[in-house]
Amino acid sequence: MRHLGYFTRALKANDPRYARVFGKLGYSRSDLSADDQAATPEPVEEDLGALRDEYHRVLGKRPFNGWDAAELRARIAAGPAQP
């Protein structure tokens, strides 16, 4: 028997719309509060294009697009020694 199948799936989703609607219905969860997500600003992305160009210049191959700035810096630092 699937008890509250739709609600269970919806509560697992990290969508602030569900938090607002289910909060009004009495199904509040602390990790889905819409106020918390609105209060935290988006982190400012560094210039990944410049880091990717640097990686390409140093290592001679294109970087993986899933790498963030910290990973690119670490791989550039671990690259071949520069004369």
User: Is residue 17 scored above 70 in pLDDT?
Assistant: yes
Length of the chain: 83
Are the CB atoms for 54 and 74 separated by under 8 Å? no
Locate 37 and state its tokens. Answer: 């997500």
Contacts of 14 (CB under 8 A, 6+ apart): 31, 32
Contacts by residues 62-71 (CB-CB < 8 Å, ≥ 24 positions apart): 69/45
List pLDDT tens digits, range 22-57. 777 776 655 555 555 555 555 556 688 899 999 999
Are the CB atoms for 68 and 44 separated by under 8 Å? no
Ordered by start, the domain boundaries in the chain are 5-39, 48-77
